[in-house]
A and B are shown apart, each in its own frame.
Chain A
Amino acid sequence: MVFPSHRAFVLGDDIDTDALAPGQYMGGGIEALAAHCLEAVDPDFASSVQPGDIVVAGKNFGMGSSREQAAQALRHLGIGAVVARSFAGIFYRNAINLGLPVFVSAGDTSMLRPGDPVEIDIDGAALVTQTGRIALEPLPDFLLDMIADGGLVPHLEKRFAASASPKETAT
């Protein structure tokens, strides 16, 4: 499976949950949060991002609080995936459980420039750029399935609906 080509949004290290879901907009629902997502780093991020675009960041992406809205805001904007050198643990869990693809890059991404066309080759576990392939740590199939279903709850909904149906046998 290869995601179609999209633009890279290139960010640095330590992007925190307050940059992703700014505290002062927490009362306004996910629409408001998404509109201000990452404005502290790039004021035009929310207005210029296109569905499928890929965020490529440095170390410790999603550090800070455990707020799920940090991952939700990116998903709401239609971000196709986040690739980072490392993720904060709770953000990583939240992202996958909310259906936002997140990949740890095993190789150096620092040569990427904002707007570069990139795509993610899931089967080959790589970020494909114009100049080559950057290895990603592969995610196991069951998590890729969960992400494809839209996250934990829709994934379980599907699973239980299948097992409730008399024609199918639960696995």
Chain B
Amino acid sequence: MPQSLAQKIIARASGRSHVAVGDVVTARVDLAMIHDSGGPRRVEPILKRLGVGLHDKDKVVLVSDHYVPGDTEEGAAILQLTRRWAAEKGVTFYDGEGICHVVLPERGHLKPGMFVVGGDSHSPTGGAFGAYMFGIGATEMAGVLATGEIWIKVPETIRIEWSGTLGPRLMAKDMLLAMCGRLGMDGGRYQAIEYAGDTVRGLGMQERMTLSNMAAELGAQAGLIAPDQTTMAWLAEHGATDLPDPAHWQPDIDAVPDELHRFDAETLVPQVAAPHSPANSAPIDAYEPTDIDVAYIGACTGAKYADLKAAAEIIRGRTLAKGVELLVAPSSKRDQDRAADEGIMKVLEDAGAKVLPNACGICAGYGSARLGEDVTCISTTARNFRGRMGAHSSKVYLGSPYTVAASALAGRIVDPRDIGA
């Protein structure tokens, strides 16, 4: 029986030679990722009730990102609890180093063929590295931490093929918003997405991460990209060891996906999602020109090194529109450092950008930069649900870093292709 990539990984994790769609199996978890919000404070009471510790502390990575920098009483208390728990349990802990979905791969924790759970809904990000990674709630996470295993129903596979080369000023974010616009937010009914095609193979790893990240918005359980030389080179560079042969983690050539969608990169134009759903995505001219107050370049989805670089390409030598605030919260310390070394941070700061901590910040609705009443924002984040980033009356449009940067210069939503090189 030909197997999809999801089936191959689940079969290996459950100790079988193969699994069929719909099978319910128990799988060994290779790694569990937790963060300060859904992690220790929520799982520890359950572990106490069970009267057990961690099944294997070496298979747990903890990241503080939601409540960093801890500038409220509540946030500070949660961070303190998180730090104590990390020390007590002896787990790998990245404290204030960036957002979990970006920190894990950048420290070499994810590899093709791994079966990974994360205590966060954007956990599909790990699929960019050929790992089957999905999000679970705190109760299930406590179960994983206690037993090292989890049950899973083998999902159907949706194959999404992109062909052709992306034009200038287009990014993975535009691809994803186009998919949300066409397929809707429940386009994936908890299936595994396999992104494929020459467009996807042509993307760098951080761009691939954006695709996998927003598999969550498409309603999928996982968003896989089969590993290739780009994957393996990136992993080796980021300290991953004992790398598998990527040939081992490809879908079988004769595996037939349960659904197939084709997209054309050549005809893609910049996409924007209107409030209050990523499914409200349309070609940018549908929302041009909408006046904006805040431009936000942040989140695991949209403030990685590649995103910062794209924004700087637009902003270099230009100034922000009067009255517009540009907020930049780089996804990780490492990405920010690299961007600083290359002069990218300076370009953004010289234009007047306010740089925020390497944390979820207002994407999770935290911090003093939360959007005020009636504020209109254009953002590189993944979700624009009502009230998520601030006041109930605030409005959030989603776009690529190019589009957000261009709009910050214009004071309204504009096509980044209209800004000269």
Which residues of A line the B interface, CB within 8 A? Answer: 60, 63, 66, 68, 86, 88-90, 92-94, 96-97, 137, 139-140, 142-143, 152-153, 156-157, 160-161, 164
Which of the candidate stretches B46-54, B98-106, B175-183 sits at the interface with the other chain?
B46-54
Which of the candidate stretches B1-9, B75-83, B140-148 sits at the interface with the other chain?
B140-148
Q: Chain A residues with Cβ under 8 A from B49's Cβ?
A: 153, 157
Q: Chain B residues with Cβ under 8 A from A137's Cβ?
A: 22
Q: Chain B residues with Cβ under 8 A from A164's Cβ?
A: 51
Proximity bits, B87-113, A CB within 8 Å = 1, else 0: 000000000000000000000000000
A89–B221 CB distance below 8 A: yes
Question: A92 and B50 in contact (CB under 8 A), knowing A66-B121, A156-B143, A156-B147?
Answer: no
Total chain B interface residues with beta-carbon distance under 8 A: 25
Q: Chain A residues with Cβ under 8 A from B139's Cβ?
A: 68, 97, 152-153
Which residues of B line the A interface, CB within 8 A? Answer: 22, 24-26, 46, 49-52, 121, 136-137, 139-140, 142-143, 146-147, 151, 153, 155, 186, 189-190, 221
Q: Distance (Å) between the CB of A16 and the closest chain B CB?
A: 10
When chains A and B are docked, how far (Å) is the Cα of A142 from the Cα of B121? 26
Q: Distance (Å) between the CB of B238 and the closest chain A CB?
A: 31
When chains A and B are docked, how far (Å) is the Cα of A68 from the Cα of B46? 16
Question: A94 and B137 in contact (CB under 8 A), knowing A153-B50, A164-B51?
Answer: yes
When chains A and B are docked, how far (Å) is the Cα of A66 from the Cα of B151? 18
Q: Distance (Å) between the CB of A144 and the closest chain B CB?
A: 11
A143–B24 CB distance below 8 A: yes
When chains A and B are docked, how far (Å) is the Cα of A63 from the Cα of B155? 16
A160–B146 CB distance below 8 A: yes
Q: Chain A residues with Cβ under 8 A from B46's Cβ?
A: 153
A160–B50 CB distance below 8 A: yes
A66–B137 CB distance below 8 A: yes
When the two chains form the complex, which single residue of B146, B153, B186, B190 contacts A156, counting CB atoms closer than 8 Å?
A: B146
Q: Distance (Å) between the CB of B53 and the closest chain A CB?
A: 11
When chains A and B are docked, how far (Å) is the Cα of A92 from the Cα of B186? 15
A152–B146 CB distance below 8 A: no
Q: Chain B residues with Cβ under 8 A from A140's Cβ?
A: 24-25
When chains A and B are docked, how far (Å) is the Cα of A96 from the Cα of B147? 17
5 A-B Cβ contacts within 8 A? A88-B186, A89-B221, A139-B24, A153-B142, A160-B50
Q: Distance (Å) between the CB of A15 and the closest chain B CB?
A: 14
Question: A143 and B151 in contact (CB under 8 A), knowing A153-B139, A156-B146?
Answer: yes
Q: Chain A residues with Cβ under 8 A from B189's Cβ?
A: 60, 86, 88-89
Chain B, Cβ-Cβ closest to A137: B22
When the two chains form the complex, which single residue of A90, A93, A156 contacts B50, counting CB atoms closer than 8 Å?
A: A156
Chain A, Cβ-Cβ closest to B22: A137
When chains A and B are docked, how far (Å) is the Cα of A89 from the Cα of B215? 14
A88–B190 CB distance below 8 A: yes
A152–B143 CB distance below 8 A: yes
